[in-house]
Amino acid sequence: MSAEATVLFDAPGPKARRRYLLLTIGTLLLLIAAIIGVVYGLQRQLAPANWVPFTEAPTWTLYILPGLLGTLQAALIAVVLASALGLLLGAARLSPKKWLSVPGGILVEFFRAVPVLVMMLFAFFVLLYGQILTGYMLTLTAVVTGLTFYNAAVIAELIRSGVHSLPRGQSEAGLAVGLTRGQTLRTIQMPQAIRAMLPSLVTQLVVVLKDSALGYMIGYAELLRASQTLASVRGNLMVSFIVAGLIFVILNYALTGCAQWLERRMSRRTSGKATAAPVATENAPL
């Protein structure tokens, strides 16, 4: 233990270490007992017969795959729209002009504060009572609207924090060559901020994908709704939700891995450029 840490905390003695060990073992035993109790209580739901439908092709072609397609469709549309709107809101909030930055800040804070489900419900009832859309397009539009506005606000904040994390010399260099503050923001700061925050933006896709399950509340045909429909037909509610949860875990893990790979690749490119810079020597030609 470091000397700085021992100033704040005393190193545990033999009795304290034994006490911590006993507490850890006791907690693990309680956790294992709770898991066994839950599994025992759900043994009828988790019976092998309830897993059989997932070995049959109609389960996947009629329920799981269409629900997965609905989830990916809503998430993909929301990602494209949220990225475009987030870029505009981020630029507006960073603008030196008050008539842009103030409304941009208000919109970002508002969309961040309102829950995604509330925005979905609001869009759903506006479109429904206004007789603008019906059926599948009604629920899809409502889900995409809620996901777009919330995630656009988050992306705008990511871009703003990325610009503020840049060295001050970046903006000063742009002003020095005759660019205005707006031109400096658009041509110098924003591209660097987006490149620096790209791993975080990819990670935000995980949030979009998970929040698409909220469409279940308005009847959107996504993966969770498809699993519930399957369970009502085959009587295997718990197993259907477990399979849907595993699919979400796989998708989110893949997106997280993509973000980590992108971060490593960008860091290697940055370090490679730094090490590849020419070094002046005494014998180097002028």
Hey, where are the domains in the chain? Answer: 66-264
d(CA 69, CA 1): 52
pLDDT over 60 (residue 272): no
d(CA 14, CA 35): 32
Q: How confident is the model at residue 141 (pLDDT cuts 50, 70, 90)?
A: very high
pLDDT over 70 (residue 252): yes
Q: What is the pLDDT of residue 280?
A: 41
Q: What is the pLDDT of residue 269?
A: 66
| Token pair 């889900």: residue | 143
Q: Which residues contact 266 (CB under 8 A, 6 or more apart)?
A: 195, 198, 199
Characterize 88-107 residue by residue with b for buried, 16 or more Cβ atoms within 10 angstroms of its Cβ, and e for exposed.
ebbbbbbbeeeeeeeebbeb
**What is the arithmetic mean of pLDDT over 234-238?**
88
pLDDT over 60 (residue 278): no
d(CA 13, CA 44): 48
| Cα 242–chain centre separation | 21
The fraction of the chain above a pLDDT of 70, given in percent, is: 90
Q: How confident is the model at residue 268 (pLDDT cuts 50, 70, 90)?
A: confident
pLDDT over 70 (residue 136): yes
- Listed in order, strand segments (DSSP E) in the chain are none
Q: Is 130 helix (H, G, I), strand (E, B) or coil?
A: coil
Q: What is the pLDDT of residue 140?
A: 95
> 90: part of which helix (H) or strand (E)?
helix 65-94
Pick from 161, 152, 163, 171: nearest CA to 191:
163
**What is the arithmetic mean of pLDDT over 114-141?**
92
Give pLDDT tens digits for 194-214. Answer: 777 777 777 788 889 999 999
d(CA 258, CA 208): 15
Provide Rg for the chain, Cα atoms. 26
> 138: part of which helix (H) or strand (E)?
helix 135-164
Give pLDDT tens digits for 85-123. Answer: 998 998 888 888 889 889 999 999 999 999 999 999 999
d(CA 81, CA 141): 12
The type of residue at 188 is I
pLDDT over 50 (residue 246): yes
Give pLDDT tens digits for 210-222. Answer: 999 999 999 999 9
Bigger pLDDT: 52 vs 265? 52
Structure tokens at 103: 């409304």
Q: CA geometry: angle at 273 spanning 271 and 276, to 5°?
A: 105
d(CA 243, CA 249): 10
pLDDT over 50 (residue 69): yes
Task: Output helix, strand, coil percentages for the chain, rounded to the nearest 5.
Answer: 85, 0, 15
Q: What is the pLDDT of residue 270?
A: 57
Q: What is the pLDDT of residue 146?
A: 95
The type of residue at 217 is M
Give pLDDT tens digits for 148-186. Answer: 999 999 999 888 887 877 777 777 777 777 777 777 777
pLDDT over 60 (residue 274): no
Q: What is the pLDDT of residue 82?
A: 93
Q: Is 175 helix (H, G, I), strand (E, B) or coil?
A: helix
Structure tokens at 186: 């658009």
Topology given in CATH for the domain delimited by 66-264: MetI-like fold (1.10.3720)
d(CA 224, CA 240): 9
Q: What is the pLDDT of residue 89?
A: 92
**What is the arithmetic mean of pLDDT over 70-98?**
90
**CB of 160 within 8 A of CB of 90?**
yes
**What is the arithmetic mean of pLDDT over 45-55?**
88
Q: Tell me the CA distances in angstroms from 41 to 3, 31, 107, one per residue in order.
A: 51, 15, 48
